[in-house]
């Protein structure tokens, strides 16, 4: 299906969701410069992975007109050494973040600043691995607050994934450098977060919602100063 939703986060940023129903064959014609993307497609990706990869790039190109009256025609989504996507070409300082899980693809596109987004299928994996990515106080709070264990722990994992993408650095330890504050779990809301890099703590706000049954979405947008 086409673009599922587009939400304006600020005058300079948009959040887009794509519900993936297409095959790779039907997604290719939706991309500009398909030859450039054919050279970037991961060689080991199976058909499902190819569809997610392509849908993410189609989504970014679908969001561009929301921020630019006449988007440059030479823009191509690449990945840097940390795996973070970026737009090669005359991108005018555009920043972006991409995520996909199951049949959903999410993206945040911004004119500068920092962004992060993550979408996850709700499952029990995050709860089983909680001790590996949650600090002791986070784990204690989750055990006390989680009425729906898998959904709550998936939300916590997703929030840390979004903060990790915002940091855009490799080697970050989720348990000690990506910290989540107290919040009352709801269908949608905000989670206070702290990023610890080189001994310096910075404060952030992670927004969350459930865009579809069985999924959780988190994102963060911080405009350029």
Give the SS3 label for residue 209.
strand
| 170 marked among binding-site residues | no
- Residues 145 and 160 sit within 8 Å (Cβ to Cβ): no
- Residues 115 and 108 sit within 8 Å (Cβ to Cβ): yes
| 60 marked among binding-site residues | no
| 120 marked among binding-site residues | yes
Which residue bears the tokens 């300082």?
A: 93
Closest CA to 186 of 147, 129, 214: 147
| 118 marked among binding-site residues | yes
Kindly state the tokens that stand for 112. 């500068």
- Residues 73 and 82 sit within 8 Å (Cβ to Cβ): no
| 97 marked among binding-site residues | no
d(CA 48, CA 7) in angstroms, rounded, equals 26
| 161 marked among binding-site residues | yes
Cβ neighbours for 50, distance < 8 A, ≥ 6 positions apart = 24, 41
| 190 marked among binding-site residues | no
d(CA 218, CA 199) in angstroms, rounded, equals 25
Cβ neighbours for 215, distance < 8 A, ≥ 6 positions apart = 101, 102, 104, 119, 120, 121, 122
Q: Are strands 13-19 and 215-222 parallel, antiparallel or unpaired?
A: unpaired
Binding site, annotated residues for CoA:
49, 57, 99-100, 118, 161, 165
Binding site, annotated residues for Mg(2+):
118-120
Binding site, annotated residues:
49, 57, 99-100, 118-120, 161, 165
């Amino acid at each position: 299906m086409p673009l599922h939703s587009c939400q304006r986060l600020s005058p300079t940023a948009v959040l887009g969701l794509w519900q993936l129903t297409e095959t790779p064959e039907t997604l290719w014609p939706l991309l500009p410069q398909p030859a450039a993307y054919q050279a970037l497609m991961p060689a080991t990706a199976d058909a499902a992975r190819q569809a997610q990869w392509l849908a993410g790039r189609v989504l970014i190109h679908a969001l561009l007109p929301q921020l630019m009256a006449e988007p440059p025609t030479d823009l191509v989504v690449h990945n840097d050494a940390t795996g973070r996507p970026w737009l090669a070409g005359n991108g005018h300082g555009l920043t972006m973040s991409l995520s996909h899980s199951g049949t959903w693809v999410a993206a945040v596109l911004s004119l500068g600043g920092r962004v992060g987004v993550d979408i996850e299928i709700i499952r029990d994996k995050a709860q089983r691995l909680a001790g590996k990515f949650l600090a002791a106080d986070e784990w204690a709070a989750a055990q006390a607050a989680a009425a729906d264990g898998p959904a709550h722990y998936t939300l916590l994992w997703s929030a840390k994934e979004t903060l990790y993408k915002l940091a855009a650095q490799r080697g970050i330890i989720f348990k000690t450098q990506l910290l989540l504050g107290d919040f009352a779990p709801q269908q949608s809301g905000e989670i206070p977060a702290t990023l610890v890099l080189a001994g310096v703590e910075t404060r952030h706000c992670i927004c969350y919602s459930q865009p579809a049954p069985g999924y959780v979405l988190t994102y963060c947008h911080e405009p350029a100063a």
